[in-house]
Structure 1
Amino acid sequence: MLKDLFHLFCAIQFAYGCYYDYTYVRIPSTSTTVTPFGGKLKYLTYLNALLQTIYFFVALINDLIGTNESAPSNKPLIRRSKDILFSSLAFPLSLFVGESLNTVVWSKEVESTVKSGKKKAK
């Protein structure tokens, strides 16, 4: 029951986030050569949010009509789809987007922390 509520909450949160981002957030044009081709779909963070929305809805459907047994003799199609979606797209893409963002945002802080740690060790 708790897993069902978690998947429902995450699916609604990601769906609303994608809707709000697509509808209300406007990216300022910093160049005159920017074309509207692709819109927000050319940004990996937005694609990741869409993929997470799809994954959590599939996981919710699996919770409601599928099976979560550890080793069922015959896995339903929705369970196989959820497992493949998670292991091949949702987890790797989320990890890449998160680590890329942290590398860009926190690179100076990490660099200064590592340098100060090396000075103390000497």
Structure 2
Amino acid sequence: MVGNGQLCVHAVCLASYVYTLYFSLRYIGEGDEPYVYLFSYRGFAGKFKYMTFLNVLLQTFYFGLSLLNDLTGSYVKPSDNGGRKSKLQSFLDVVLASLAYPIGVFVVMTFWAIYAVDRELVYPKVLDALIPQWLNHAMHTTVLPFLLIEQYVVFHDYPARSKGISILLAFGFAYLCWILWIAYYADLWVYPILQLMETHQRAIFFLVLLAFFITIYILGEVINKALWRKEYACKVQQKRKTKKIS
């Protein structure tokens, strides 16, 4: 059964991301015409070349489906003893574990880490006149507390680690190919920090980031199991009973 707290969290998070997207699309560009710069903002591929923007789309998608699941799907935990999960709930478990949580945390951590060293490498000062501070934090800060609250409020049955990490690395590899293609085709490095590196340095940098992806995934799984110890204990007991019966 879905609680009011869970429903409220999903509604607030969705509203926040929807407004963030609306404001970004409507007002953040390089001219007076709204929405035109979605595909041309700061060069080839527009806003779709930035992981920050892709993450906002992902979080909006996730919390939108979560609210839909609250209203029409299911919220079954192992302690419910035999409750049947909807396909939507199972899908959301995988999306949260493999994409929404690790990518969201990755965006926040890497952005502010590079910003602390040299903001010009990730968020040049010229953007201050273009992007309001609240929007910057909506895209690069509040993502983390939203996801931590989600982990605390909603039980998510993590998939097998090999499956979850495989999905995450597939995304990471696809995005890597995307920004390398942009660099080759349009002679444009999406992030200034990459332009300053030699080829071997970029390779090492990418490998470190992929390792960071995996670390975030595992820590997310650890946090989930720590918050929902009783549910995982019930899950283990159910598996043992199933084995005895079979």
Give the TM-score normalised by structure 1: 0.75
C-alpha contact (below 8 Å) 2:76/2:85 kept by paired residues: no
What are the ranges of 5 or more consecutive residues in structure 1 without an aligned counterpart? 29-33, 109-122
1:100 lines up with 2:105 in the alignment: no
Structure 2 distance, partners of 1:35, 1:100, is 21
Structure 2 distance, partners of 1:20, 1:76, is 34
1:69 lines up with 2:76 in the alignment: yes
Change (3 A) 1:22 1:80: same
C-alpha contact (below 8 Å) 1:22/1:40 kept by paired residues: no
Structure 2 distance, partners of 1:27, 1:53, is 24
Q: Percent identity?
A: 31
Change (3 A) 1:27 1:45: farther
Code of the residue aligned with 1:67 in structure 2: it is: S
Structure 2 distance, partners of 1:5, 1:27, is 36
Structure 2 distance, partners of 1:61, 1:36, is 36
Q: CA RMSD in A?
A: 2.1
Give the TM-score normalised by structure 2: 0.39
Change (3 A) 1:95 1:11: same
Instruction: State the aligned residue count.
Output: 103
Higher RCO (CA 8 Å, separation ≥ 6 residues): 1
* Residue in 1 that maps onto 2:52: 45
* Residue in 2 that maps onto 1:87: 97
**1:37 deviation in Å?**
3.0
Structure 1 segments of 4 or more deviating over 4 A?
A: none
